[in-house]
Chain A
């Protein structure tokens, strides 16, 4: 580095620049640890697990399902997922902007996309830890009878994909607003609109309804939770995630120009 730097007198100097992969993973690891260096990670994991549990047993009780089924568990998780993801993503950029730490981060030789993808992976890591905490419920249920592993795996994949979509949306919100609470509220509103959009379809004509249905997260989620992992579902969640990350990267880049 310095040696390199001293070498050339006429040509441009160049120091160490990491590869996109190594930068992304470094940022992801820092992001992940940041949740658990403070109380945030523990609070989020505990609250989500607790509320999912409460809702699950409430639904399970009211539905009087005598057989062992995990459908209410995934219904509970998908209903609470927007809150969890909004809480996970709100700090990604809002906190950095608020504290000014973004200045030190993006003046390091990292690409804007390394920062955005790294932060996304870090938040996904926390989501994964949270979901692992809920595995206690299927384990408890398995004592009541045999469980079909297909829908369980499908359900978790669906939650993870849906969570990824909500986190990507939350990162966009977080990259535009300085205040964490505002970011949280905006993310929750957008996520629930996407979640509930298929519940309003009865008021719409058939042709438009199916289009709207495609934009609904819950529609795709239910499809995956049945154990059918269709490419349409993957494409949907993948597109939302990709679009979110692209917009967040552009937002981060545009702050230089404003």
Chain B
């Protein structure tokens, strides 16, 4: 496998006044790597991608793309990157083919190859139906995102930087897209940001997690999960107690579980009606299943389920980005149950990268 570094950031910072959008980021991505770039909104994902694509200049530090310094040689840096910005901002009044031709010309693709290249990306991105519409503005957001992807792939770039490429796609489209990224990632470098952690686990052998502009973690999803040293216990109890009357409430279970170990992070999870579900996050060193079982017996609860999981990437993500803007909501969006005890109220606006842009 080739080992050359394709994307490199050294002490990369971007400040807007006193606010640091990114703060001394260091990472390098090699050829053949597909890297998931994770972080809550406002963590600095888009800002980093914008620096790498030469849309904005860093305040300090250096970044190299395909060996080209984004500051010294921005044209060459941009020429080797296929970039899809967040929400795919396209010229709404242009037709799909017309737009792709425009990009092909500015990418200096020989005129004789335009037809073949455009045909290819239309096939890859499943844009056949989109050609029936007169303009990009008439397409659904999902299709517009595909057009955005098509323009990023048009020149067959060795490096792809995709900012939330699947945000407007439906689940089937997402799966297709992930499959495609895996296929092309073999001899290319792909950096993609997303909130969808399941997607990252499926397609990215490596993840970078940023929080508040700083690199919080770097590694394979499974390594990160193991490194966290946490275990998750899931308990499901019948709402009708075996003995006595009344019902069991989630708060009773949470309180009782905290009695086992005050360091446990306990919260309720959604389960089918008539049952109470609780998850407890604790150290993986000590197994507390026995204590949990004894607790259920002593309280007279009917235990329907008791299991221990290895901590998932979601948990790692939540751990690392705790206190960051709406991290809890993002996890919920990624299919996780909300952790009531940990997701702090949002202290920042939903989309801080956009705020940062407004400050420009």
Q: Is the CB of B83 within 8 A of A107?
A: yes
Cα of A106 to Cα of B81 in the assembled complex, Å? 13
Q: Which of A8-16, A212-220, A225-233, A235-243 contacts B (4 or more CB under 8 A)?
A: A8-16
**A179–chain B nearest beta-carbon distance, Å:** 13
How far does the Cβ of A91 sit from chain B's closest Cβ, in whole Å?
11
Taking a contact as CB atoms under 8 Å apart, the answer to whether B156 and A108 are in contact is: no
Report which residue of A5, A9, A99, A111 has the largest number of chain B beta carbons within 10 angstroms of its beta carbon. A5
Which residues B49-76 have CB closer than 8 A to chain A?
Answer: 50, 53-57, 66-68, 73, 75-76
A255 located at the interface, meaning its Cβ lies under 8 Å from any Cβ of chain B in the complex: yes
B360: A residues at CB distance < 8 A:
255, 258
* B155 contacts partner chain A, Cβ-Cβ < 8 Å: yes
Known: A6-B187, A108-B103. A34 touches B108 (CB 8 A): no
Whether A2 sits at the interface, judged by CB under 8 Å, is yes
Q: A256 near B57 (CB under 8 angstroms)?
A: yes
Mark out the residues of chain A between 11 and 28 whose CB falls within 8 Å of any chain B CB in the assembled complex.
11-18, 22-23, 26-27
* Count of interface residues, chain A, beta-carbon cutoff 8 Å: 38
- The distance from the CB of A174 to the nearest CB of chain B, in whole angstroms, is 16
* Chain B residue at smallest Cβ distance from A18: B108
Query: B54 contacts A103, CB within 8 Å?
Result: no
Given contacts A13-B158, A14-B76, A30-B102, 16 further A-B contacts (CB under 8 A): A1-B156, A2-B158, A5-B66, A12-B76, A13-B68, A15-B157, A17-B76, A22-B108, A30-B94, A104-B90, A104-B151, A106-B55, A109-B79, A256-B57, A257-B56, A257-B57
Cβ of A101 and Cβ of B89 under 8 Å apart? yes
Contacts of A207 in B (CB 8 A): none
Report if B132 contacts A (CB, 8 A): no
- Residue A100 at the B interface, CB < 8 A? yes
Interface string of B241-266 (1 = CB under 8 A from A): 00000000000000000000000000
Q: Scoring B residues 305 to 324 as 1 if CB is less than 8 Å from chain A, else 0, what string do you get?
A: 00000000000000000000
Chain B interface mostly helix, strand, loop or mixed? loop
Residues of B within 8 A of A27 (CB): 106
Nearest CB to that of B46 among chain A residues? A103
**A136 interface residue per 8 A CB criterion:** no
Q: Does A201 contact B (CB under 8 A)?
A: no
Q: What does DSSP make chain A's interface, helix, strand, loop or mixed?
A: loop
Q: How far is B159's CA from A2's CA once the two chains are assembled, in angstroms? A: 10
Contact between chains at B106 and A110 (CB < 8 Å): yes
Residues in A whose Cβ lies below 8 Å from that of B56: 255-257
Specify the chain A residue showing the minimal Cβ separation from B56: A256
9 contacting pairs across A/B (C-beta < 8 A): A1-B156, A10-B67, A12-B68, A13-B158, A22-B108, A104-B90, A104-B148, A108-B107, A109-B79
Chain B proximity of A72: nearest CB distance (Å): 37
| Contact present for B109 and A16 (CB under 8 Å) | yes
Query: Could you tell me the distance in whole angstroms from the C-beta of A14 to the nearest C-beta in chain B?
Result: 5
Residue of A nearest to B83 (CB): A107
Q: Which residues of B contact A33 (CB under 8 A)?
A: 94, 98
Q: Tell me the count of chain B residues lying within 8 A, CB to CB, of chain A.
A: 46
**Is A13 in contact with B85, judged by CB distance below 8 angstroms?**
no
CB-CB contacts below 8 Å: A70-88 with B: none
Residue A46 CB within 8 A of the other chain: no
Of A22, A37, A258, which one neighbours B93 at CB under 8 angstroms? Answer: A37
The residues of B that contact A103 with a CB separation of less than 8 Å are 50, 55, 85, 89
Q: Most B CB atoms within 10 A — which of A2, A11, A109? A: A109
> Whole-angstrom distance between the alpha carbons of A161 and B46 in the complex?
42
Q: Which residues of B contact A38 (CB under 8 A)?
A: 93
Residue from the list B50, B108, B187 in contact with A16, Cβ < 8 A: B108
In the complex, which of the residues A12, A34, A101 has the most CB atoms of chain B within 10 Å of its own CB atom? A12
A-chain residues with CB within 8 Å of residue B81 when the two chains form the complex: 107
A5 touches B157 (CB 8 A): yes
B91 at the interface (CB under 8 A from A): yes
Q: How far is the CA of A110 from the CA of B98 in the complex (A)?
A: 18
B79 and A37 contacting across the interface, CB-CB below 8 Å: no
Q: Is B135 an interface residue (CB 8 A)?
A: yes
B2 located at the interface, meaning its Cβ lies under 8 Å from any Cβ of chain A in the complex:
yes
Report the separation of the CA atoms of residues A37 and B67 in the bound assembly, to the nearest whole angstrom. 40
The contact of B85 among A1, A26, A107, by CB within 8 Å, is A107
- In the complex, A23 Cα to B4 Cα: how many Å? 31
Q: Which residues of A contact B93 (CB under 8 A)?
A: 34, 37-38
Question: Judging by beta carbons under 8 Å apart, are A17 and B79 in contact?
Answer: yes
Q: Given A2-B158, A37-B94, A99-B89, does the pair A12, B105 have CB atoms closer than 8 Å?
A: no
Q: Name the residue of chain A whose CB is nearest to the CB of B59.
A: A257
What residue of chain A has the Cβ atom nearest to residue B152's Cβ? Answer: A104
CB closest chain-B residue, reference A10: B4
Q: Is the CB of A107 within 8 A of B105?
A: no
Q: Establish whether residues A34 and B91, one from each chain, have CB atoms under 8 Å apart when the complex forms.
A: yes
CB atoms of A9 and B2 under 8 A apart: yes
B89 touches A2 (CB 8 A): no
Residues of B close to A106: CB separation below 8 A: 55
